[in-house]
Amino acid sequence: MSSSSAAPGRGDGAEKPPMRDALVAAAFRLFLERGYEQTTVDDVVALAGVGRRSFFRCFPSEDDAVFPDHERCLADMTAFLAAGADDEPVRRVCAAARPVLRMHAENPAFSVRRYRLTESVPGLRAYESSVVRRYERAPAGYLRARFAGPRDGALRADVIAAAVVAAHHNALRSWLRSDGKGDAEAAVDHALGQVRAAFGAGPVAAAGKGPEDVVVVVSRRGAPLWRVVQELETALGRG
């Protein structure tokens, strides 16, 4: 679900790439030539011209060489969410998906090749699924903190986080299946718009105890009355 900033196919080859990028390039070349299951770490380091110790300093496992930028992207997402403590929470978690999109869109050819490889190797599909769960935990944790007041705040947080990841994943995979053609940003924005439309602005902070507290609920035009009442009860901490 990610791409290296200096992934295979980039640059003019005039300069020797950094060791991490050289390992990614070597790994992908061998995966495509021999097959993933037939390629060993020893094969990769031999082609890259480095030792085994160098490989494991860069990547915990062979799988991590296929997804070289997940840790950076997860760190970017977590930092982005932490900086938005006062923003509307649903909008913030939707915006937090952008680092993942940028990571793929900065090198479409590499992202498409990696997608095809992942689809053909069951072990890589399982690895990718574990990473997707980590992407879901980051916005869920942020939303749980923001929705700490209402009784169902944790449930709402988990549902919205899952919806954000599912919408982003659906749009991104459609773009990858099209060989990286079209506007990935527009496709992801459209998908995340469905999340914002479904969950509105999210519940406001739980009302305080003062007699002059005001609660504002934002609802979609034409929403059924039961939905409006439900949002109001959630905002008041009675849901």
Conformational region of residue 206, where left means phi above 0, alpha means psi within -120 to 50, and beta covers everything else:
beta
Tens digits of per-residue pLDDT, 71-112?
Answer: 888 889 999 999 988 899 999 999 998 888 888 888 898 899
The whole-number pLDDT of residue 122 equals 87
The Cα–Cα gap between 79 and 56 comes to: 26
Lowest-pLDDT choice from 18-32, 82-96, 220-234: 220-234
Extract the tokens encoding 107. Answer: 């090198």
Mean pLDDT, the chain, whole residue set = 80
pLDDT: which is higher, 103 or 159? 159
**Integer CA distances (angstroms), 172 to 106, 124, 237, in order:** 13, 17, 36
Q: Which of 53-57, 63-67, 152-156, 172-176 shows the lowest mean pLDDT across its residues? A: 63-67
H-helix segments, the chain:
19-34, 41-48, 52-58, 62-66, 70-82, 89-95, 98-105, 108-120, 122-146, 153-177, 184-199, 225-235
- Tell me how far CA of residue 152 lies from CA of 47, 161, 203, 236, in angstroms: 54, 14, 11, 12
- Distances 217 to 42, 81, 155, 232 between C-alpha atoms, Å: 59, 23, 19, 6
Q: Is the pLDDT of residue 220 over 70?
A: no
Q: Cα–Cα distance between 37 and 147 in angstroms, integer?
A: 45
* Residue 18, pLDDT above cutoff 60: yes
Q: Does residue 202 have a pLDDT over 80?
A: no
User: So what's the pLDDT on residue 234?
Assistant: 64
Give the residue with greater pLDDT, 207 vs 32.
32
Supply the DSSP symbol for 219. -
- Taking residues 140-154, what's their average pLDDT? 91
pLDDT at 237: 56
Least confident segment among 2-11, 19-28, 158-167, 218-227: 2-11
Q: What's the CA gap between 181 and 109, in Å, rounded?
A: 10
> Angle at CA 109, nearest 5°, toward 63 and 80?
65
Check pLDDT > 60 for residue 226.
Answer: no
Token pair listed for 131: 């990473």
Q: What is the pLDDT of residues 33-71, one digit of tens each?
A: 888 889 999 999 999 999 999 999 999 888 888 888 888
Backbone angles phi, psi at 7, to 5 degrees: -75, 170
Write down the pLDDT at residue 227: 62
The single-letter code of the amino acid at 197 is A
Q: Higher-confidence residue: 219 or 116?
A: 116
Residue 218 has pLDDT above 90, yes or no: no
Domains and CATH numbers, the chain: 19-65 (1.10.10.60), 69-203 (1.10.357.10)
